[in-house]
Homo-oligomer: A and B are copies of this chain.
Amino acid sequence: MKILENGICSISSIKASGYREGKYGVTVLYHENSTAAAVYTTNKVYAAPIDITRKHLENGKISAVIVNSGNANCYTKEDGIKKGLELASLVADTLNIPVEDVAVASTGVIGRQMPMDIIKPVAIESLKRLDNSRECANDACNAILTTDTTPKECAIESTLDDGTKFKVAGICKGSGMIAPNMGTMLGFITTDLDVSRDILQEALLSSVKRSFNMVVVDGDESTNDTVLVMSTNEVKGEYDNNFQEALDYVCMSLAKQIAKDGEGASKFMEVVCNGAKSEEDAICVSKSVVSSSLVKTALAGADPNWGRIICAMGYSGVEFDPDCVSISIGSGSENVVIVDKGNITTYANPEILEAAEVIMNKKEVVIKLDLHDGCYSATAYGCDLTYDYVKINAEYTT
């Protein structure tokens, strides 16, 4: 597996662009006749573009995606559909493709009509810049951001067992309203491997489950979440699990970038749950801990208050024996065991708590849990809860 340098433009037949004016940005991705699959928010209130994209993806084919930031186009009724289609038509007319082959996605404030007088000129400007270059990849990355502080991309080359080389490349945005099921996140992934629509959909679902769905910033699940993967079908080869692994890698990388850029976050947290009776149990326990406001504030204060960890495990809803649990806290090569199969190590060795405090002052902290009750594992990704999260979100619309 090789990391590629050109982000979403690492696949040379993909054209990308991005343009921003103030808080409004528009990104376009383009490759005619791509096979496509997508996963959407499970929020009952979902944005107009999701309706449009779901419909346009019914035949498993698209040629372009247009994404705007600054307005979520959610809770906007018929007007929202109309304006979403207007953006799709703009792309279709410019690129001379059917409007049904254009997917649409939006992110921003909910419940306001799209200011087309602002967004349309931005979209036109973005479309003018459509090309394949490192600069275009940057622009595409940047124009979809909202409260994000860093662009997020990942591109790799991998190899099928038959020796065929293929690429997977993606960009995403997401920083707040990040919850158990994808938060306000938009992700767009491309590959050149010829993959059927059904396999693409299945592979995406599987990757999303382990990556974007394991990221929690604040527990609020957005109305606009979309992860879309499109294949240019240029590379033919005997399909095998290497594709899933490559897609997993890209999704996981993007998901971690979201957690690291969580609103106001100063630290990244990984919660690994091992030894669970089922994958579902491992997911529930790790997400419960990574989501806990009290664990998140303890991380912010570098306070090894592990009682909050066992507490969050306890209310996860999963059955386990608290007296068999192990808990450790680590960062890089450092790791301290605080609870060892139910035994609290810090009674005999109080200096362990000091070591844990030193670790919790690092930028990246890994909390490892073992239920000693089975062979399933899961990892959840999150960040600390800081003053800045409050600041950012107390002042977002006004």
Contacts and interface: CB of A to CB of B under 8 A. Distances in A.
A75 B307 contact: yes
A222 B397 contact: no
Copies per complex of this chain: 2
A310 interface: yes
Interface string A154-193: 0000000000000000000000110101000000000000
Nearest to A320: B44
B220 A219 contact: no
Interface in A306-322: 306-308, 310-316, 318-320, 322
Given A303-B398, A311-B45, A318-B44, A393 B293 contact: yes
A103 to B, nearest CB: 22
A390 B299 CA distance: 10
Given A43-B311, A313-B45, A315-B179, A397 B303 contact: yes
A211 to B, nearest CB: 19
Interface string A282-320: 000000000111100110110111111011111110111
Given A77-B342, A390-B300, A396-B303, A111 B310 contact: yes
Contacts of A75: 307, 310, 322, 344
Interface in A55-92: 72, 74-75, 77
A16 B11 CA distance: 75
B43 A314 contact: yes
Contacts of A303: 394-398
B42 A315 contact: yes
B223 A314 contact: yes
A110 B390 contact: no
A240 to B, nearest CB: 37
Contacts of A265: none
Contacts of A319: 44
A345 to B, nearest CB: 11
A297 B390 contact: yes
A314 B223 CA distance: 8
Contacts of A347: 113
A376 interface: no
Contact of A177 (B304, B311, B339): B311
A195 interface: no
A386 interface: yes
Contacts of A385: 390
B77 A323 contact: yes
A66 to B, nearest CB: 22
Contact of A307 (B111, B386, B394): B111
A141 B49 CA distance: 54
The residue in A301, A305, A307, A319 that gathers the most chain B C-beta atoms within 10 A of its C-beta is A307
B294 A220 contact: yes
Given A292-B220, A318-B44, A394 B301 contact: yes
Contacts of A43: 311, 314-315
List the 10 closest A-B pairs by CB distance, nearest first. Answer: A110-B307, A301-B394, A45-B314, A297-B393, A111-B307, A221-B315, A43-B314, A218-B293, A305-B397, A44-B314
